[in-house]
Structure 1
């Protein structure tokens, strides 16, 4: 296990070209699980390759336990990587695939056999040791690839979208296996994914990336509840956050965002500086933070809107309405009774409402003090 720190890391592929990675600042303690998440082309795999030594950085430092490893070759970094493609040797048995790195290091055969047995037991693949990769399912191949990395007992593990080739059911199962494995071994791990569900469920820390910049770095709860900007808010959460253009006015001595369903208007109390009075902002609220209104009311602002689409998912009912000319998703209890065309009373929790600058996407109502190690673009 080891502490990993990236200080002002940059990557440029050629003179005159823009930086692929821009001033990356991240740090995770020994035994923590870091998720690098973002859309395709955001730089997360490039950053992973830089940590592994497969790519040279153009500037900055990569430190492991305080030692700069930026100039070291991959074999000297004591870092193991699990690739998306598994990269198993097709002519070797599972046993030999796992043992390959140990043989290269010229360990005694007894030590190799003991380590292979330990890893196979950990990943529950003892019965597969004599098979070739072509005789394995996708999930079994992924376990073997993980086993090959685990057998090295490195200081840091890197996973580059390891589950993206699996079907949905197997992906969920393997996600649980990876989490259980990390809980048992307490290994320092960096995991690249474009799947925000993996980011929320696996990571101790999450770095959300876009265009080579870390937009926000923090715990999954910080990222979800206190997103730095509209991009982060839109990327994390399923269904995604609703973004509603809304004018700000002053009513009863408070700043309010106005909503209009076509049937009714309501004013939602918000927090914003006086300079935003009379201007249009983006009101963000997650689908699960819009609830069915009660007859008695509970002090939260309510609005009646026409149901346009319903999507039963089993544990939830997704209901779509229009507010301020924008389609809005509401995540309601599965037993809510409504049909397309019905008028439905909805309520919004003002404490959960976020405000964003319509031009830049930056938060208007966010605390000035950011969490430790966080970088906001």
Structure 2
């Protein structure tokens, strides 16, 4: 196990070209599982290759256990990498694929045999040791690729989108296997993915990247509940967060956002007018936070017509229109309405997120108006 720290890491492919990585700052403790997540082309795989030593950095430093490894060759970094393509030797058996790195290090044959047996048992592939990669399924090949990395017992494991070639069911199974493996081994791990479900379920820490910049770094729950900007809020979460453009009104020094369904409308207290006035605002709220309004609820509510219903099994996604924008609500199956029905939906101002509609910047008004005063719902004339 080892600590990993990136200090102001930059990567450029030449003068006149935009930097692929820009001032990357990250630090994880020994045994932590770090997820690098973001859309295609955001720089996450480049950053992974820089950590592995497959690409050089243009500036900054990469430290393992406090020692700068930026100038070391890949073989001297004591880092093992599992590639998206598995990169198995097709003419070798599973046993020989796992043992290959150990043989290159000239370990004694008895030690190699013991290590292969240990890894095969850990990954439950003992019955596959005599087969060649062409005789294996995609999930089995993935296990062999992981086994080859595990056999080295490195300080750090790197996984570069290892599940992207698998079908949906196998992805879920292998995701669980990787998490169980990490819980058993407690080895420092960096895992690249564009799948935000993998990011939320696997990581101790998550770094969300866009255009070579880390937009936010924190625990999965911090990033889900307290996103730094609209990009992070939209990228993390399934179904994604709702974004509703707001018209605002100011009264008694407070700013209110108007929610209009075409049937009814309500005012949502947002915070001090001095902090919000003059901005175009975007309201952010996750589907599970928009609830059916109970009778006599003190929270703002608005009546809206159900346009689409999507049962998913454990819950039902219901779509309505607010401010001429499609809004998703996540309800329990027993509360699922029919298309055309009208629902009273409540919004808790304490859970509302606000963003600048132009820049995507997260806005954090200092003090919201108390929510124990009823906000009237009324019909449009």
- In the superposition, the TM-score normalised over structure 1's length comes to 0.95
Distance verdict in 2 for CA 1:204–1:366, change over 3 Å: farther
Secondary structure of the corresponding residue to residue 296 of structure 2: coil
Does residue 327 of structure 1 match 2:358?
no
Task: Look up the match of 2:360.
Answer: 361
Q: Spell out the pairing of 1:299-338 with structure 2 (5 A cutoff).
A: 299-338=298-337
In structure 1, what is the Cα distance between the partners aligned to 2:192 and 2:272? 36
In structure 2, what is the Cα distance between the partners aligned to 1:329 and 1:272? 28
Conserved 8 A contact 1:12-1:19: yes
Q: Which moved more, 1:344-353 or 1:145-154?
A: 344-353
Task: Look up the match of 1:373.
Answer: none
Shift of 1:275: 4.1
Conserved 8 A contact 1:89-1:133: yes
Shift of 1:276: 1.9
Shift of 1:91: 0.5
Which sections of structure 1, spanning at least 5 residues, go unmatched?
368-377
Secondary structure of the corresponding residue to residue 84 of structure 2: coil
In structure 2, what is the Cα distance between the partners aligned to 1:90 and 1:297? 68
Over the residues paired in the alignment, what is the CA RMSD in angstroms?
A: 1.2
In structure 2, what is the Cα distance between the partners aligned to 1:95 and 1:195? 31
Q: Which moved more, 1:318-327 or 1:253-262?
A: 253-262
Conserved 8 A contact 1:272-1:364: no
Task: Look up the match of 1:155.
Answer: 155
Shift of 1:226: 0.3
Does residue 42 of structure 1 match 2:72?
no
Shift of 1:272: 5.1
Secondary structure of the corresponding residue to residue 89 of structure 1: coil
Conserved 8 A contact 1:272-1:365: no
In structure 2, what is the Cα distance between the partners aligned to 1:324 and 1:115? 62
Secondary structure of the corresponding residue to residue 27 of structure 2: strand
Q: CA deviation digits over 1:19-44, x for unaligned, max 9?
A: 00000000000000000000000000
Does residue 344 of structure 1 match 2:343?
yes
Conserved 8 A contact 2:316-2:336: no
In structure 1, what is the Cα distance between the partners aligned to 2:74 and 2:143? 23
In structure 1, what is the Cα distance between the partners aligned to 2:200 and 2:209? 14
Secondary structure of the corresponding residue to residue 271 of structure 1: strand
Q: CA deviation digits over 1:99-138, x for unaligned, max 9?
A: 0000000000000000000000100111111110011110
Q: Spell out the pairing of 1:1-377 with structure 2 (5 A cutoff).
A: 1-251=1-251, 254-271=254-271, 274-277=274-277, 279-294=279-294, 296-365=295-364
Shift of 1:79: 0.2
Shift of 1:350: 1.5
Shift of 1:171: 0.3
Secondary structure of the corresponding residue to residue 344 of structure 1: strand
In the TM superposition, structure 1's runs of 4+ consecutive aligned residues that sit over 4 Å from their partners are none
Secondary structure of the corresponding residue to residue 269 of structure 1: strand
Conserved 8 A contact 1:293-1:347: yes
Q: CA deviation digits over 1:76-98, x for unaligned, max 9?
A: 00000000000000000000000
- In the superposition, the TM-score normalised over structure 2's length comes to 0.94
In structure 2, what is the Cα distance between the partners aligned to 1:297 and 1:54? 62
Conserved 8 A contact 1:249-1:278: no
Distance verdict in 2 for CA 1:210–1:85, change over 3 Å: same
Conserved 8 A contact 2:36-2:192: yes
Shift of 1:209: 0.1
Shift of 1:278: 5.5
In structure 1, what is the Cα distance between the partners aligned to 2:150 and 2:272? 50
Shift of 1:297: 2.9
Conserved 8 A contact 1:306-1:341: yes
Aligned length in residues: 366
In structure 2, what is the Cα distance between the partners aligned to 1:139 and 1:333? 34
Conserved 8 A contact 2:97-2:148: yes
In structure 2, what is the Cα distance between the partners aligned to 1:145 and 1:337? 45
Q: Which moved more, 1:255-264 or 1:211-220?
A: 255-264
Secondary structure of the corresponding residue to residue 270 of structure 1: strand
In structure 2, what is the Cα distance between the partners aligned to 1:66 and 1:94? 36
Which sections of structure 2, spanning at least 5 residues, go unmatched?
367-381
Shift of 1:247: 2.2
In structure 1, what is the Cα distance between the partners aligned to 2:102 and 2:85? 21
Shift of 1:283: 0.3
